A and B are shown apart, each in its own frame.
Chain A
């Protein structure tokens, strides 16, 4: 399957700081999604972004498909942003391949 690498693995931020999470993938993909897993384990889809840039409030994402990476930007971070952020891609078989995640902790 497609290899998905995320960096950094762990990130600690002061409330109000900005951050960038990166996702690299090993092959061309049909679909790329960013998920947030809250401390209670629930996975929520943030973005469907196979290419280009999208914004949703304090979050935005950019995927450069030709260079096989995607970035998730979090601005003015809040404690509720804490959790694990996953990047997941879909290849020819249409199954989601997940990265190992970035664990974000936002401290007040």
Chain B
């Protein structure tokens, strides 16, 4: 089974801190995605990547950046964390661009105080 691992289950950070959320997948998938999940809003796409060193903005990229230096790792960066970025962050990967199969990590619950 494909495994998508997110480095932290819970994080508490202070306003203004630089925050790194790490995601690693172990099945050589081309595509990786970062979503945030908020009550009543479902999952919203922040950034995605179809290849190493490639990134594209999703629906809500403001305040975030990403890095994909290796195929298996996709990092989400909050340059200066703010309280409105308190949320559950979910990473996903899929094999091909039109893949039917998305595999999600278990999520990182980030609280910014």
Residues of chain A whose beta carbon lies under 8 Å from any beta carbon of chain B: 1, 4, 30-31, 33, 35, 40-45, 48, 86, 88, 90, 94-101
Interface residue? B97 (CB, 8 A): yes
Q: Which of B45, B58, B90, B98 contacts A43 (CB 8 A)?
A: B90
Q: Which residues of B contact A (CB under 8 A)?
A: 33, 35, 40-45, 48, 58-59, 88, 90, 92, 97-98, 100-104, 106-107, 109
B43 and A86: CB pair below 8 A?
Answer: yes
- Give B66 Cβ to nearest chain A Cβ, in Å: 14
Q: Which listed residue (A31, A42, A44, A95) contacts B100, Cβ 8 A?
A: A31
| Secondary structure type dominating chain A contacts | strand
Residues from chain B with Cβ under 8 Å of A45 in the complex: 101-103
B78 to chain A, nearest CB (A): 20
- Distance (whole angstroms) from the CB of B36 to the closest CB of chain A: 11
With A33-B100, A41-B107 known as contacts, the answer to whether A95 contacts B58 (CB < 8 A) is: yes
Q: Which 9 A-B pairs have the closest CB atoms?
A: A43-B104, A48-B100, A98-B43, A98-B42, A100-B42, A41-B107, A42-B106, A99-B42, A94-B97
**Closest CB-CB distance, A62 to chain B, in whole Å?**
17
**Complex CA–CA separation, A45 to B33 (angstroms):** 15
Residues of A within 8 A of B92 (CB): 43
Contacting pair B41 A94 (CB below 8 A): no
Rounded to whole angstroms, the CA-CA distance of A98 and B46 in the bound complex is: 13
